[in-house]
Amino acid sequence: MNSLHADARAVLDAWASPDDSQEELRRAFVAHLDGHADAMWRECAPDHLTGSALVVRGDEVLLVLHAKAGKWLQMGGHCERDDPTLAAVALREAREESGIDDLSIDPVPLRLSRHSVPFCHGGHHLDVQFLVTAPPGVDPSTGATDDPVDWFTEAPEPTDQDVRDLIAAARRRLRESP
């Protein structure tokens, strides 16, 4: 077992699910980790863990118009062999896709999402979603993917319910933070 696998297991063990559906996903993610030594890698087909980041700046969220999915989504993606933690996966992806280096991450997940990804083994991403903050006034540049990125005060169309739920979870966390 690698250290990223161990980190993911520890993060999910410690995470307090906000509701029953999230707890069901947490248990499923843990079971997947327990059943697959390669659960962190895209080669684990058809399902594998991923890390994503909802980048916020004040009341705005930064989303990317994902070319393959054809909708506005949070930033994120696959784990790489040199990623030390699951939070580091999400932060690396946010920096790559936004072109913004000055980001900070809350290492406690916001939400979990299991979503179908037909262009990735026809399986599912078991996505651990984190809150990332950007400093005031910073703007994105074209990231590594060349997909458009932009700030929004509300979820734009086209998007999905998962993004809407993620934005709501981020706003709750920010309201509750000291």
Q: What is the pLDDT of residues 89-104, one digit of tens each?
A: 999 999 999 999 999 9
Instruction: Please tell me the pTM assigned to this model.
Output: 0.95
Q: Residues 69, 148: contact at Cβ < 8 Å? A: no
Residue 38 lies in domain: 3-176
- The enclosing domain of 124 has a CATH number of 3.90.79.10
pLDDT band at 142 (very low <50, low <70, confident <90, very high): low
pLDDT digits (tens, 9 = 90+) for 46-68: 899 999 999 999 999 999 999 88
So what's the pLDDT on residue 13?
Answer: 98
pLDDT band at 18 (very low <50, low <70, confident <90, very high): very high
Residue partners of 115: CB distance under 8 A and separation at least 6: 124, 125, 127, 162
Of 137, 112, 134, give the one whose Cα is nearest residue 125: 112
Domain count, the chain: 1
Q: b/e string for 4-16 if b means 16 or more Cβ within 10 A? A: bbebbbebbeebe
